[in-house]
Chain A
Amino acid sequence: MNITLDLHDIQGNIVFGYGRWGYPLSRYLLFKFNDGVKARDFISALVPLVTSSAPLDKQNGGTPPPATTNIAFTYAGLTSLGLPDASMRSFPDDFRMGMKARKDILGDDGPSRPEKWDPVWKAHRSVHMLLTINGQSQEELDGRYQEIVGMLENTDGDVELLSGHRGVKGVNNLPYQSGNAIVLNGKPTANEHFHYTDGISDPVFKGQGRSANETIGAGKPTREPADTKAGWDALETGEFLLGHRDETCEYPIAPEPRLLSYNGSFMVYRKLHQNVGKFTDYIQKASANYGRPDDSPEVKQETIKAKFAGRWSNGAPLATYPDYASAMKFGQEWDNAAATLFYQTDVSAEQKSAARAKLEELKIKRRAFDYDGDIKGAKCPLGAHTRRTNPRGSLEFDVTGAFNTPGALVDRRRILRRGLPYGESSDRNDNDGEHGIIFMAINSSIQRQFEFVQQQWVNYGNDFKLANEKDALLGNHATDDQGNPIGRTVINANETLEQPTYMCSGMPRFVETRGGDYFFIPSMTALRMIGEGIIDPT
């Protein structure tokens, strides 16, 4: 079934991420509405600035806009905007409760508990709207920011831009959260602060307009080989967009009326702090005895790091590149092709075209795999981050035909990851500075998709036959009575590479929650109707 989506009706950053168009900078603004009428006027004034999911050069007269703008609301925000009770009652419980009230499900305890979040999140239900700006340069980003701040003047203080985002050196009253791609050696990267390449296998769904090549390793697995086009199908649109058929051949649960929800979605926004120093330190200590005694510390550390993630730092998947040498070769080929394509000036058209083809081939290789034949986790440990959060067909545990499709337990747990890192971490031993990731997950059901992944696959291990073991990177590892970290993880043995089973203990919590909430992203139509106050579920 061919699905044609009205991309001009769907807000931007959903159907494709802005990173694809090269917007390495972002700002996240939180607003509070004190008066419904003024707030609706403000929304109406914002609508012309809002970016859609149409190709960016097609909504701005041939050139991508210098900066993008998107908005989303919390439950409290929609209430303040005066949506009818019947509509408000039709929203799902997860969204109505908000992220703070779901802390037990999410494992936001200890240093991640809401009391530790940035001040802007602390007041009860005071965050009503999230506005995100993505920009190509600081000037353009700031230009759009100033434009929006200027619009606030017409609201007589009845729409407040909330301060209270943390910054560096104890600052805790910033009016916005910044996000930025990490720049290494003068080049913007797709890295996060532990220096893994991030955001590789985002799901592909119907109507997104992706080619069969782009669907390899990114859709849902069929029973054909994982490195072929036949091995993958695009997911149903309704897993990510409300009002469309989902993986159970139904419409997802959505608020009434249909015009309010159609082409909208739900978004999880989380500010995740990364303890870079603890990570650096732990990788050094934990890798000391890993692998062959004559391996260099560099090899040991990189391998342990890869085993935690399921991918090498450069993005090469362990399932395809189980050893250090092959992974480094992958990285070298990638760097060479990228250099030819983007940075070298004296190259011929043929060389460019060859480099482009090579990069395309390597991109597919980053995704074109499953865990068939690796049931014991010899290549990619059963508890590795990417194997947990996207198990592909591996929950059949090599019992082919255990389910109707190999991804039966996975296809309804996928999330679109958007967002960018924030802060800087050039001091690799620092824990307390501002460095982490603004994690944004888009899905039709926060409970079924994001929360399930977080609760069952990140903070628990039973589905992978790992009892109560947590994700090494993201898990909310606890401490004992004396405050000593007690996280543990097993790296499964790989006999071919002479790597015996390796046990990592005393693991601290590497990632801590610093804020966030659940948001509803209306379609462009619904946004206009909210502004006009004409949402009517009767």
Chain B
Amino acid sequence: MGNRFGNAYGLTVLIPIKHGTEDNRSYDKIIRDKLQQWPLDEQSPLSKVPNTYLSRVFLLNDVFYEGAPAIEEHLKNKYLVFSSNFFGELDDYLTGMWNTIGDLLKEFLQHCVVFDKVNSSADFVRYIKRCQIKTSLFFNGSTDKPLDEQLKALYVKQAFIHFAYLSDHFRYEGERGAIKLQDAFKRFVNLIDIKNFNVPSWPVATQSIPADIELSVKAIINNVKEADK
């Protein structure tokens, strides 16, 4: 077991936070305050990083003492932990991350040990790799296809369910219904534009079912009915 699972990569990074304070607040507190202001779901900066399947960031203050006979141990630093499951190669992923949310990352990574030496995407890749630890129990919760392909598949599946239900009545309208069903299906194929992975597609990191998928399918069924009048 390692960092790879087919084309999926499991990244685990522990970034040491500097000791010390600024304006009467320790650096880890500054980082936590900033992180907790990040918006969630599709608004989250992490959703903008290309090819992210799932990622999370959290602060590790110390290790737990589990009681005797375990030995009580402590970390020398507090750590910012970043873990991510994504498609593709590590270098490409980290470069993509730097290019999309680099400025945001700098806001709190500046409080981490030797981050002041990071000035470019290449520096960032090197820096993260220095902090990387092996993901020993990596289980990928999705397929290992590129993200845009996965989201498109999700969209097509949802759209087709709506198409199946909304066009179902054509099956029972005889020959005329068959023609309408064929017409509707052609329009449906046009609508979903299956080779275009960008649009229309399932929005990244959304928590709720996007209502416009059903509405757009409904619209083409209505167009078929209109055209038949």
Docked complex Cα distance between A288 and B173 (Å): 12
**B19 lies within 8 A of chain A by Cβ:** no
Which residues of B, 162-209, contact A by the 8 Å Cβ criterion?
164-166, 168, 171-172
Contact A503 B172 (CB under 8 A): no
Which chain A positions have C-beta within 8 A of B166?
Answer: 505
0/1 string, A290-322, CB within 8 A of B gives 1: 000000000000000000000000000000000
Residues on A with C-beta less than 8 A from B168 are: 503, 505
Assign chain A's interface to a size class: under 10
Interface residue? A278 (CB, 8 A): no
Any B CB within 8 A of the CB of A426: no
Indicate whether A358 reaches chain B with its CB closer than 8 angstroms: no
B165:A488 contact, CB within 8 angstroms: yes
Query: What are the residues of chain B within 8 A of A429 when measuring CB–CB?
Result: none
Give B164's nearest chain A residue, CB to CB.
A503
Which residue of chain B has the shortest Cβ distance to A293 in the bound complex?
A: B172
> Smallest distance from the beta carbon of A470 to chain B beta carbons, Å?
14
A289 within 8 A of B: yes
Place the interface of chain B in its size category.
Answer: under 10
By beta carbon, the residue of chain B nearest A288 is: B172
Q: Contact between B171 and A289 (Cβ–Cβ < 8 Å)?
A: yes
Q: How far is the CA of A403 from the CA of B164 in the complex (A)?
A: 35
Chain B residues positioned under 8 Å from A288 (CB to CB): 172
Q: Which residue of B lies closest to A289 (CB)?
A: B172
Q: Which of A489-514 contact B (CB under 8 A)?
A: 503, 505
Q: Which residues of B contact A289 (CB under 8 A)?
A: 171-172
Closest CB in chain B relative to A267 CB, distance in Å: 36
CB 8 Å contact bits of A464-503 with B (1 = contact, 0 = none): 0000000000000000000000001000000000000001
User: In the complex, what distance in Å separates the CA atom of A169 from the CA atom of B131?
Assistant: 74
**Could you say which residues of chain A place their CB within 8 Å of the CB of B172?**
288-289
Chain A positions 262-290 with a Cβ under 8 Å from a chain B Cβ = 288-289
For B209, the closest partner residue in chain A by CB is A468
- Shortest beta-carbon distance, B113 to chain A, in Å? 44
- Rounded to whole angstroms, the CA-CA distance of A443 and B168 in the bound complex is 42
Bound together, the chains give a CA A503 to CA B171 distance in angstroms of: 11
Report Cα–Cα, A281/B171, bound state, in Å.
Answer: 21
Bound CA span A289–B177, Å: 13
Rounded to whole angstroms, the CA-CA distance of A243 and B9 in the bound complex is 50
Q: Which residue of B lies closest to A502 (CB)?
A: B168
Give 7 closest A-B pairs by Cβ, nearest first.
A289-B172, A505-B165, A503-B168, A503-B165, A488-B165, A503-B164, A505-B168
Interface residues of A (CB under 8 A from B): 288-289, 488, 503, 505
10 contacts between A and B (CB under 8 A): A288-B172, A289-B171, A289-B172, A488-B165, A503-B164, A503-B165, A503-B168, A505-B165, A505-B166, A505-B168
Contacts A289-B171, A505-B168 known; list 6 others, CB within 8 Å: A288-B172, A488-B165, A503-B164, A503-B165, A503-B168, A505-B166
Enumerate chain B interface residues (CB-CB to A < 8 A): 164-166, 168, 171-172
